Structure 1
């Protein structure tokens, strides 16, 4: 018997067992019958004139009325709570409440009968889910780690044009086509193992493999000085010669409510930024366009290091600071017998040090950021071929570089014909470019910029259209060391400018599969080194360009 039934039965039973309060002669049987049959039912305790909240049984009476509806009053609107109850009256009250309980039970029984089939289906599903959860718990490799993966297949090819020649008077276009003319099919695999011990921290281990070394866009050499165009390097292209390697290994955890700390033996510069200053996606084609227009400031150095950021979610402001040594795992920072710096350690002369500070403001649909970076390019902290002209890469690899980057982005509130816009500009100053006896460069200045557009739900919901234009890092000013060689003339004109374009459309086939055809164009990827013939830096107006296309299929799991 349920509790409320016990509460109802108990006083009535006591009344039935007690001596008669009145004899048969005093009892008005007809009055009791009239009370039980025709007394006015009430729906709220406030209908009783003589019941007050201060009465000791007020709450109990209220529950009987409002929850069970089995209490009636006298025609006068009174309850007469202080009046003695006869056994017959107790029996009438008990009978009314039990009748109500029976009605409720019958209603529930009818509902159960009506939805019996649906309830059986739900029970079966619950039993099935319990079995599947039990199976997953028994077979999962870790209770703290989840796997997030991405595989990309890329089919692509290049074509070249222009009248520039190399130092052997051979046409650049013919040379490039000979050593990078085939259509290739390559892959890139990324596996993130994300582990959390507290729910707020993150230990990331990334495994990566790929075979892009000799693909259509690979920046490789045949051993005789012939190489493909470095600026055609793709964002998705990795090369591990089909061997799975540890690509990232770092740990991130909160310090209080507004600070976050990141440290790792293989951590990259962007892993330690509170805000990435671009809305243009990593699905982009040319790698240059993933650096927010400033590959010097955002050089994505990978190595051992640590960083901290402060992020005020209420105001949108954040400040990030980090340090990475590209040679943190090497223990010998000293010169070898030939005088060449071997490199190694943290914060040493050969550490390939990279320090970054960024200030950013970000809201839901727009933001802006400014960054400063210092890079000691000895042994690995400079630009790589995918981010600048050959001259810009060579100069920046010879000395310490101070770089600044300014970036901003905006996205419309609703998708439509107006795209999201991302833009950035970078400036790099290279100084102390090594020993005068070993280098011809003393200092240099280079720049870069880009604008990226992205249309969400373009033509079909879920699909994305993107386009970008910019200038990968190019030298704008250079000072040479004085020497006997006439080619070291400080008045030599610098003409290193070049342009890059890309256009792509992503078909979202399923939630986990997308296909992205794309084309790209590089107007002058060799910059000032376009002509290797008569004039040392190709200032005679010769041309060389690169046009490429690809289809990228991405699987996310």
Structure 2
């Protein structure tokens, strides 16, 4: 970015200084005395002022840009006797802009596009990829439109407190630290299970996180995060903190070090159904039909070895949720869990691998009695990432699920994910 600025500024600066250089040559040759040192200095000051104006109009030197592109090639077999299990190739493209005004704050903007559709953005059958991005027009066709995907401002208050506010943010960005160290291929394993406690869709919101100060950064410490998002925060008829808004309040308490952590999150959601309005995974019809106020808890724990290689890092997640306004036949209590194993530098330095399995959120208590046909569902994924160089990686992965929707159906898929980071 600095090189780009210099390429823009240099020609303009040379153009402004050329007349000054020409006049200096004439003075030297003719030995004229009409150009005094004061006049020359005045002209130099004028050149510097004009260069300053040019620089002011350029891209801020405090803005850093990075990005990535993903080629997604794969297929999904969902046991349906249709032609929807063909091999497809789709893409995702993302730019990250980080701007600091004080050296300690950050204005984050994420611009994103993609044409991913069908299986790889389908939450209902657990085949939504973490790298996927789709954009549709009013007819439902994938368009690949470029849009501002995330936008927020983060700044410190003292040494221990971080504050976030923004019109496009999600609750898990406003935490003292991430609840999970497992890197997923499918979104169902993000955030330690992406169950009921974490995962709000992009919304207006704000939050703060306090972290205990310790002498050694490797020492255990406490941290507390509290944040709020509203799915209807941009609506003039509902707005932030409105009585009819879909509000989401999340609190996370954690204790641990960079190598291990235990955390508990509590979430209160108003005006949500169990499936609509945020990125939780409730595929059971009994759970997804429940509407009203929900209270959810998410327990997370992880551990990573001191050295990379054969010993994997371990991630555990457990979620439970209760619904205050369930009617007969709807879920009053739900549960889900996951375990993820991750390896760094496996077989070859720079390469990595991951395996995860678990059970998606399903009803464990139904108002009026009964059982959920999805209660014994299972989900899994496995992958290996080849690091071609610092900017390119190739990841073959397989994934699947059974009985997630209660229809005794198996879903299996495979994908070859090629990522370019810059």
Give the SS at the match of 1:291. helix
Q: Deviations over 1:276-303 (max 9, x none)?
A: 111102xx22111003125211023321
Give the SS at the match of 1:232. coil
Map 1:126-145 → 2, pairs under 5 A? 134-135=6-7, 141-145=59-63
Deviation at 1:308, TM superposition (A): 0.7
CA distance in 2, matches of 1:450, 1:243: 34
Q: Which residue of 2 aligns with 1:348?
A: 242
Q: Which residue of 2 aligns with 1:508?
A: 387
Map 1:49-68 → 2, pairs under 5 A? none
Q: CA RMSD in A?
A: 2.4
Q: Which residue of 2 aligns with 1:200?
A: 104
CA distance in 2, matches of 1:132, 1:345: 42
Q: Which residue of 2 aligns with 1:272?
A: 174
Deviation at 1:395, TM superposition (A): 3.1
The TM-score with structure 2 as length reference comes to 0.80
Deviation at 1:202, TM superposition (A): 0.5
- Contact 2:67-2:96 within 8 A present in 1 as well: yes
Q: Which residue of 2 aligns with 1:231?
A: 126
- Contact 2:207-2:226 within 8 A present in 1 as well: yes
Q: Deviations over 1:87-142 (max 9, x none)?
A: xxxxxxxxxxxxxxxxxxxxxxxxxxxxxxxxxxxxxxxxxxx9999448769622
Give the SS at the match of 1:554. strand
Greater radius of gyration (CA): 1
- Contact 2:228-2:249 within 8 A present in 1 as well: yes
CA distance in 2, matches of 1:156, 1:406: 33
Equivalent residue for 2:332, pick from 444, 449, 466: 444
Residue 400 of structure 2 corresponds to residue 521 of structure 1: yes
Q: Which residue of 1 aligns with 2:160?
A: 258
Q: Which residue of 1 aligns with 2:297?
A: 404
Residue 228 of structure 2 corresponds to residue 323 of structure 1: yes
CA distance in 1, matches of 2:77, 2:126: 14
Map 1:453-472 → 2, pairs under 5 A? 453-472=341-360
Q: Deviations over 1:487-537 (max 9, x none)?
A: xxx33332322111100000000101100000001012212xx1xxxxxxx
CA distance in 1, matches of 2:245, 2:187: 26
CA distance in 1, matches of 2:121, 2:258: 37
- Contact 1:294-1:449 within 8 A present in 2 as well: no
| Alpha-carbon distance change, 511 to 492 in structure 1, aligned in 2, over 3 angstroms | same
Q: Which residue of 1 aligns with 2:369?
A: 491
Q: Which residue of 1 aligns with 2:363?
A: 475
Equivalent residue for 1:291, pick from 177, 184, 191: 191
Give the SS at the match of 2:348. coil
Q: Deviations over 1:6-33 (max 9, x none)?
A: xxxxxxxxxxxxxxxxxxxxxxxxxxxx
CA distance in 2, matches of 1:402, 1:150: 36
Deviation at 1:443, TM superposition (A): 5.0
Residue 120 of structure 2 corresponds to residue 217 of structure 1: yes
Give the SS at the match of 2:289. helix
CA distance in 1, matches of 2:274, 2:372: 25
Q: Which residue of 2 aligns with 1:429?
A: 322
| Alpha-carbon distance change, 157 to 187 in structure 1, aligned in 2, over 3 angstroms | same
CA distance in 2, matches of 1:323, 1:392: 27
CA distance in 2, matches of 1:298, 1:307: 14
| Alpha-carbon distance change, 443 to 416 in structure 1, aligned in 2, over 3 angstroms | closer
Give the SS at the match of 2:285. helix
Q: How many residues get paired?
A: 362
- Contact 2:329-2:369 within 8 A present in 1 as well: no
CA distance in 2, matches of 1:430, 1:554: 40
More strand by share: 2
Unaligned residue ranges in structure 1 (runs of 5+): 1-129, 162-172, 220-227, 333-343, 480-489, 531-542
More helix by share: 1
Unaligned residue ranges in structure 2 (runs of 5+): 11-54, 136-142, 215-219
